[in-house]
Amino acid sequence: MTGFREPMLATPTERRFSGDDWVFERKLDGMRAVAGRDGGAPRLWSRTGRPIEAGFPEIAAALADLGGPRFTADGEIVAFDGAQTSFARLQARTHLTDPDRIAATGVRVHYYLFDLLSLEGEDTTRLPLRDRKRLLRAAFAFRDPLRYSAHRNGEGEAFFADACGRGWEGVIAKRAASRYHGGRSKNWLKLKCVRGQEFVVGGFTDPQGARTGFGALLVGYHDGRGPLRYAGKVGTGYDERTLRGLRERLDALAAPQSPFGDPVRERAHWVRPELVVQVAFTEWTADGMLRHPRFQGERADKAARDVVREAA
């Protein structure tokens, strides 16, 4: 009851709508995390079930101080760049577990809770969403770094317009009477102000000039059970630390041949398709390539096998 649960996932949509039977929340640009406690120290898991509390000790401590002895909750860990949540800024904390190294990054994080899966040994997933959120708000004493994810009732179109005007990533629409269950659901819908999604890295090119690490990542996605579909190369959005760190990880994944089912014209080094990255882009071209892609960060919280092309 208080252990890891597969999180509920939203389905992409291009539809903008309002409705009294829906609630609308800000779409946060961070790392999904399930929290649980069973009388002892709180635990944190990524969306794939990987323990991550060692990487976010301040959040684990806040859950211990501000929550009850037994609960399971769902939320998003974020870092801010000004007023915006920034997955790129959160990258400085990726893979770190040593408290001194974590502190040295200077990156503060917050944990926004938006759902309650169990409380005091009782399963709450069968309750309507509005009831779960009411219980969630009462179950924790919210103060930084623990925050409650507020919502708006009904006025989805106005909320979406406001979200895009503020520079947010988008909005999550949730059916107010829906139950909670693991996996993708049309009871939760994501409406994005900007385009972006996860991709699997299948190779990389050599750096040119004074650049270190690599030139560009070659990325793709799964389409059925066959090899990766090629989506293009991502050559911007990296700092020096990321270039060097990713090159080390890519070298450890070296493979003798391309994992892509499509022809790739680039002269490349191939890797096993295990590394997942977040990429922003302006649009898909007619031939299925990314236009103006930009690297945003590594997604250690998503399995490569689950990466598909997102479509409304």
Note whether 223 and 229 are within 8 A (CB): yes
Note whether 229 and 260 are within 8 A (CB): yes
Note whether 90 and 78 are within 8 A (CB): yes
Q: Hey, what amino acid is at 28?
A: L
Cα gap 126→181, rounded to integer Å: 9
Name the catalytic one among 27, 133, 174, 233. 27
Backbone angles phi, psi at 87, to 5 degrees: -65, -35
Cα gap 126→180, rounded to integer Å: 7
Can you tell me which residue has the tokens 């893979």? 95
CA distances from 16 to 13, 175, 186, 312 (A): 8, 14, 14, 12
Parallel, antiparallel, or unpaired: how do β-strands 276-280 and 122-123 relate?
unpaired
Q: Hey, what amino acid is at 51?
A: P
First to last CA, the chain: 33
Is 133 one of the annotated active-site residues of the chain? no
Closest Cα to residue 120, out of 220, 1, 213, 230? Answer: 1
Cα gap 227→223, rounded to integer Å: 8
Note whether 110 and 30 are within 8 A (CB): no
**Residues annotated as catalytic (active site), given as ranges:** 27
